[in-house]
Amino acid sequence: MKEILLLKYGEVALKGLNKPAFESAMLKTVRRRLADIGEFRVYKAQSTIYVEPLEEKADLDAALCRVQRIFGFSAINRAAVCEKSLESICATAADYLGDRLRQGGSFKVSAKRSDKRFPLNSMEIGREVGAYLLVAFPGLRVSMADPEITVVVEVRDFAAYVHCGKLPAAGGMPTGTSGRAAVLISGGIDSPVAAYMMARRGLDLCGIHFMSPPYTSERALDKVVQLSSVVAGYTGNFALLCVPFTDIQLAIGKNCPEELFTVLMRRSMMRIATIIGRREHCGALITGESLAQVASQTLPAIACTDAAAGMPVLRPLIGMDKSEIVDISRRIGAFEISILPYEDCCTVFTPKHPKTRPRLEDVIKAEEAFDLPSLEAAAVEGTEVRMLHFFDEPWR
């Protein structure tokens, strides 16, 4: 029996004239992500991408794992393929889903006939297949309202497909179709979640990380690399740009009022990220800020930070509670890495009493007290790139 994956479009199905552009992005991504696990035929029809193994060693379990992290699909089915005849559909359903059906319980058959040349309509297919399975598996009983097992039959253009329902898909819009942005990624819980959320809306991402050696360790950087590879599991490739930030932090500490330290540091991050973002062809910056979470995330502090950015700053977590952020972090496999106890450059230098209502005039005046622009230019020049690939991802 031949198995196949059916990847069903999410919002992309609703696109009008632009739909082909989204589809070709999705096809390209699926082909690229499966390139090293065997030969598959990947093709599209009827708002679905088909993933068909072409050889024995093509690993469908691994393929499923991979495609569940590709954005743009609202549901995935792992299905048996059969001929478009009632006999073949009945025999395939009994054979493919036999282990489950033998256990008994309530069931229904849900049929969809998109090939209108097929002689039976959806209702009739459902009834016929249901009757066949009831005879073949005496432990079954019909429940249309609340079945334990739903046997799905899809009669499509190329063949008929039998499966027992939807597997989770990543949702969202295909990577890259919304452009590109740079996520400011720390070793915390929030920024990887912010990255995931904006990637899900179709942004291709690169990461910018500010590191402060020797105050921050190699292990702290390694944690950011690991978190970035979680993001790369969704976006494909991910360039992580590591900016040496120690000199700037020391200079701010030496020359400015302590209570303004955090806001000055964040503005400096924004200016540097803007320059790097432009070089990387990004149209926006992304942060993991959430309103009122810490002193630098009050409205006046955010206003000061925004004023230093030269491109839009997207803050997908701005209205979320920490517990909601943690839920997503766990779901995407970042949480266990985020809670490793390595220090971040922000925590190392945090003032005891940061100003929660900084005024932009005071902040700008403090910045003028020393030569911040040349320190920032040096930091940009000292930036190192690390490329991450979804292959690095632990659940590969």
Which residues are registered as beta bridge partners of 40? 53
Residue of 47, 217, 237, 293 interacting with ligand ATP (CB under 6 A): 293
Residue of 52, 289, 376, 393 interacting with ligand ATP (CB under 6 A): 289
Q: Which does 221 bind (CB under 5 to 8 A by kind): ligand ATP, Mg ion, none?
A: none
Residue of 110, 186, 246, 305 interacting with Mg ion (CB under 5 A): 186
Residue of 175, 249, 296, 298 interacting with ligand ATP (CB under 6 A): 296
Q: What are phi and psi of 152, to 5 degrees?
A: -105, 130
Q: Which does 185 bind (CB under 5 to 8 A by kind): ligand ATP, Mg ion, none?
A: ligand ATP
The whole-angstrom distance between residue 206's C-alpha and the CA centroid of its chain comes to 13
**CA quadruple 171, 25, 238, 372: dihedral sign:** negative
Cα–Cα distance, 235 to 184 (Å, whole number): 16
Map residues 324-363 to x or -, x wherever contact with Mg ion holds by CB under 5 A: --------------------x-------------------
Contact between 314 and 181 under an 8 Å Cβ cutoff? The reply is yes
Q: Which does 209 bind (CB under 5 to 8 A by kind): ligand ATP, Mg ion, none?
A: ligand ATP
Contact between 206 and 180 under an 8 Å Cβ cutoff? The reply is yes
Cα–Cα distance, 25 to 312 (Å, whole number): 25
Nearest-5° Cα angle at 342, 326 to 389: 70
For position 189 contacting ligand ATP by CB under 6 A, the verdict is yes
Q: How far is CA 166 from CA 6, 107, 279, in A?
A: 10, 15, 41
Residue of 93, 345, 363, 375 interacting with ligand ATP (CB under 6 A): 345
Q: Which does 287 bind (CB under 5 to 8 A by kind): Mg ion, ligand ATP, none?
A: ligand ATP
Q: Which does 50 bind (CB under 5 to 8 A by kind): Mg ion, ligand ATP, none?
A: none
CB neighbours of 330 closer than 8 A, spacing ≥ 6? none
Residue of 40, 107, 132, 210 interacting with ligand ATP (CB under 6 A): 210
**Residues binding ligand ATP (CB under 6 A):** 184-186, 188-191, 208-210, 287-289, 293-294, 296, 344-346
**Residues binding Mg ion (CB under 5 A):** 186, 188, 344
